[in-house]
Amino acid sequence: MSAATDETKSLAVETEAVADERILRTSVLRKLLSRPELGSVVGAVAVFLFFAFAADGFLRASSLSTVLYASSTIGIMAVPVALLMIGGEFDLSAGVMVTSSALISSMFSYQMTANVWVGVGVSLLVTLAIGAFNGFVLSRTRLPSFIVTLGTFLMLTGMNLGFTKMIDGTVSTKTIADMEGFPTAHAVFASTLTVGGVDFKITILWWLALVALASWILLRTRSGNWIFAVGGNQDAARAVGVPVTKTKIGLYMAVALGAWISGQHLLFSYDAVQSGEGVGNELIYIIAAVIGGCLITGGHGSAVGSAVGAFLFGMTSKGIVFAEWNPDWFKFFLGAMLLLATLLNAWVRRRAEATK
What are 102-156's pLDDT values in tens digits? 999 999 999 887 899 999 999 999 999 999 999 999 999 989 999 999 999 999 9
In this prediction, residue 29 carries a pLDDT of 54
Q: Report the C-alpha gap between 166 and 106 in whole angstroms.
A: 14
Closest C-alpha among 254, 253, 251, 262 to residue 284 = 262
**Burial level of 45, CB count in 10 A (0-12/13-18/19+)?**
exposed
Using only the alpha carbons of the chain, give its radius of gyration: 24
How far apart (Å, rounded) are the C-alpha atoms in residues 281 and 95?
5
Give the relative orientation of helices 244-270 and 222-232 as an angle to the nearest 10 degrees. Answer: 110
Say how far apart CA 310 and CA 316 lie, in whole Å.
Answer: 10
Q: How far apart are CA 73 and CA 67, in angstroms?
A: 10
Q: What is the mean pLDDT of the chain?
A: 86
Full-model pTM: 0.87
- Rounded to whole angstroms, what are the CA distances from 22 to 8, 12, 13, 315? 21, 15, 14, 40
Pairwise CA distance, residues 148 & 305, whole Å: 26
Query: 159 versus 46: which is more confidently predicted?
Result: 159
Examine the pLDDT at 15 and tell me if it is beyond 60. no
Asked if 85 contacts 252 with a C-beta cutoff of 8 angstroms, the reply is no
Tell me which of 356 and 11 has the higher pLDDT. Answer: 356
- pLDDT tens figures, 304-344: 999 999 998 899 888 888 888 887 777 787 788 777 767 77
Q: What is the pLDDT of residue 226?
A: 96
Give the amino acid at 80: P
In degrees and rounded to multiples of 5, residue 153 shows phi and psi of -55, -50
Cα pseudo-dihedral 201, 292, 78, 302, rounded to 10: -110
Q: How far apart are CA 76 and CA 261, in angstroms?
A: 8
